[in-house]
Structures are given as structure tokens and as C-alpha cells.
Structure 1
């Protein structure tokens, strides 16, 4: 039994030695095999990882392209809305300008003297001045213009200039309407300070004129805001900064002023009212001069 055990032990030792010898002799081969196996698996995983990165990059490129396209479409849509808003505001501006002659009348008329006078012919006189303009119908049409889009897509500069211009036109129309109503103590219905504040907030340099000439000084800013609307819209839509005063507006203002003078004097003469219902020329000229300096 001892012999069998020794033979078994010798066989084990021989096998182990043989295997160890073979392993020793083939160590480089095994090492290379294992190294290549590991390297192959690593490269395979690396390729898979790179492929994943490429797929992710493609997805990112697609996302970037989508965002750029969406932004471009959004900008185009906003610009289209901005153009639509500008057209609406210009249409409203044109409607207001059809009543600009009322502002010229208010520059000339001596409101204080008219309110003091008790002559019933004054109502006829004011009605004669207002009749050609169909004020109620024009204001109704202006009110029907939906300004939601302009207020959503236009800047404050454009909107504030428009609001100021509209306030001046409406104030002149309201004052003439008031003068044409047969009421006593109509002067008590006139509220001051609101219109002047609107103008002063936008043009602080105008305060000096309001301090000197009162609320009616706002009428001399009508053409200024009329032009400011167009300038602000040009800048907003096309980026143009044209700050020069429109020569056509200046010419139109001079013609309107002259026509207003002729109409008022003709109406006074026709109805038989005194010319003290008109402001002295020097007062009107002084107000206009102060306004021109502030607007320069």
C-alpha cells in the first residue's frame, strides 16, 4: 500500500512538474494570448462607447439644428407680428392726424375768454369749426382699431409716443366739444395736469413751457409726437435711426396753422363775434418758439 501511495505521489509530482514546466515554457504565449484577449475586449467596448458618443453627437446636432431652426422661425414670426403691429399703429396715427386741425384751432382760440363769454353765438361758432371733421365718427373708428397686437409686440418708445399724440388730439377734440355745449360754468369740468404730465414724462425739457403757458402748451407738441411715432417704428422694424425732423411735417404744420387762422377769422366774421376770442399773435408765437427750442 505504501508503494502505491508513493507511486501516486510521484505521479502527482511528475504531472505537476510537467504542467509547471509547460506553463513556464509557454508563459509568454499565454501572456500574449491573455493580453490580446483583454485588448480585444477593451477595443470592442471602446468602439461601442465611441459609437454611442457618435450617436449622441448626432442627436445633439439634431437638437442644435432644431433649436436654431425653431429660433429662426420664432424670430421670423415675431418680426411678422411686429410689422403687423407697426401697420396697425400707423393706421391709428393716420386716423388721429385727420383731427390734427382741431389742435391748430386750440392753439389759436382764447379758451379762457370763450369760457367767460355769454354770447350764445359762440356755440354756433365752435360747431362751424368742428362740423367738417365729423369728430364723433372718426373717434368711433379709432376706437374700433384693436391695439392689442401693437401693445404686445412694440416697444415702449413707440407706444408712449403714440399715447402722447393720441392724448393731445383727444384733448383738443374734447375741449372743442365742451365749448360747443350750452352749459354754465363749463370751466369747472376742465381738469388740468394730466396732459402736461404725459408730455413732461417723455420730454422733461418741456416743463419750462408748461410752467409758463399752462396745459394748452401741450398742443405745440402734437407734431413732435406725430413724427416720433414714425421714427420709433422705423428703428424698431428696420433698425434705422433717423432723428432728423420730417421736413414734410414742418411744411404741413405751417400750412395747417395758416389754414386754421383763416378758418377761425372767417367764422368769427361770419357769425359776428369779436376777435378777442383769439389769442394774441405774440402769445402764440412765443409758445411755439419755446416748443421749437425744446424739441431741437
Structure 2
């Protein structure tokens, strides 16, 4: 068999192999493109879903930010309003307290007069001398305890710092100590331990520790002299309060101690009155939110 006889068979085989190769490439290309198209479609769908999720998340975050901003704004507005109202009330409280301090002016005048009186000798004298009692009554001419209104200070107390109230309580108690001594002379009660000087001394030392030696040296007649120092300390504490300075633990403890000593002096237990006139004269001391019957002995 010669080459010519093989030629048709070889040609047919080559053509068949070529067609097979082209068909396989065509199928492979189509499959690849089909898979690629499907992948691209799914990828685009996934990207679209991700973008949609991101937009939803952004929208939710914006909504939450709006809510948070509204809450924050509302809370800050409420806080600001409360603080403004509190600051206003504190200013009113300072005014009320200072009005109470000035209302004690006449009583302080009496206490000042009593600071130069030798109380024991005067008490002994007035006990049996009507004219002496009348003379001492002139010390407080026009002074009416029943008309002494200190209710403004009580109303202001919740808005005052503990130290401010403590100092005011000390001023009130020391002033009333002088008034009680005057009342003892006015009514001729005699020096029978009706005034507890030791309690007043403890109160002054609690408020003004630096004056302890002075108080020990000069005794009850010196009590009035510390009122000027208390006034100065009160002004300092009022300035601190209005400036918003934080009260430290030591100041609170000192204030509590002072107030406790003041209340001990100004308890509500009335002393046994020796007559209706004496009871009426001392009524102003023992009425109201604070009283002064503990200036009197219970024996």
C-alpha cells in the first residue's frame, strides 16, 4: 500500500482531531464564560446586598445618633434648668439668711450691753431691787422677742452649705445667750445657774478654735466679742457657697459639731417659769424652729 492510499485516512483523522480540539476549546470557553457570568452576577448581587446593609446600618446609626443627641440635649437642658433654678434659690437663701442676721441687730445690741455688765453682781442686785430691774429693762427698750421673725433663715436652710448654717446657728445662739442674761436681770431671777455658760463656751470653741484661749481667759463677758469674727467667717463661707466651691469632709464634720452644740444650747424644752410675766418675756427665746431654754439649768 502506497502513501496515496493512506492520505485520505490521515486527512480524515487530522480533520476529526482538529474539529474535536476546536469543539473542546469552544465548550471550555463557553463554560468558562458561563461560570464567570454566574459568578459576576452573584458577586454583584452580594455587593448590592452589602451596600444595602451598609445603608441600613448607616440609617440606623443616624437615627440612633439623632435619638442620643435629643436625649443628651434634653438631659443637658433639664440639668441647666435645674442648676439655674438652684442658683437662683441659693441667692434667695443668702438674702433670707442675711435678713435674719440683720433682724438680730437689736438683740445683739442687748448682748453687747450685757458684755460689760458684771452679771453675777447684777443678778444678785436685781433679785431684790425693783429699780435695778427697771434700769436693766431699759437696755432693751422697744425690743420684743415675739416680733423677732427668723423664719426666713429656716426656709433658706436646705439651700445653704452646712458650714454657713453652722456659723449662723452660732451667731444666733450667742446673741440669744446675751438676751437670756438680760432677761434674768430684767425679771430679777438671780444668779442661780439659769445660764449654762459652759455650753456657750464649747460652741464658740467649735466654731472659732483660735479663740479658745481668749474665751477661757475672759469667760462669758467675752462671748459677744467673737460675733465680729463670726460675721467675717459667715461672709467668707457665703462667698464660697455662691462660688460653688466644694465642701470638704473636714468642713462638714466641723459644721455638724457646731450645729449639734447650737441645738444643745437652743433646745425646745422650756424652763419652769417663775411667773406669767417671766414666761411671756422669755417666750420669744424659746419659740420657733430653735429655742434657748437649755441656757437655763434643769436643777
TM > 0.5 between the two? Answer: yes
1:91 lines up with 2:107 in the alignment: no
- Quick one: structure 1 residues 58 and 112, their matched pair in 2 at CA, closer, same or farther if it must change by over 3 Å? same
Question: Where does residue 201 of structure 1 map in the other structure?
Answer: 206
Q: CA deviation at 1:180?
A: 1.2
Secondary structure of the 1:68 match is helix
Per-residue displacement from partner, 1:69-106 (whole Å, max 9, x unpaired)? 11111110100110111111011011012322112211
Structure-to-structure mapping, 1:161-240, within 5 angstroms: 161-183=167-189, 185-238=190-243
Q: CA deviation at 1:121?
A: 2.5
Question: Where does residue 81 of structure 1 map in the other structure?
Answer: 89
Structure 2-normalised TM-score?
0.67
Name the Cα RMSD after superposition.
2.3
Q: What is the number of equivalent residue pairs in this alignment?
A: 218
Secondary structure of the 1:182 match is coil
Question: Where does residue 294 of structure 1 map in the other structure?
Answer: none
State how far apart, in whole Å, the 2-side matches of 1:60 and 1:105 are.
66
Question: Where does residue 135 of structure 2 map in the other structure?
Answer: 125
Q: Which moved more, 1:226-235 or 1:77-86?
A: 226-235
Question: Where does residue 280 of structure 1 map in the other structure?
Answer: none
Unaligned runs of 5+ in 2: 1-25, 246-299
Structure 1-normalised TM-score?
0.67
Choose between structure 1 and 2 for higher RCO, CA contacts under 8 A separated by at least 6 residues: 1
Unaligned runs of 5+ in 1: 1-17, 241-296
Q: CA deviation at 1:239?
A: 6.4
Q: CA deviation at 1:21?
A: 7.5
Q: CA deviation at 1:19?
A: 9.2
Secondary structure of the 1:188 match is coil
Per-residue displacement from partner, 1:123-163 (whole Å, max 9, x unpaired)? 1111122223x232443x23xx2434421111122212211
Secondary structure of the 1:190 match is coil
Larger Rg, first or second structure (1 or 2):
2
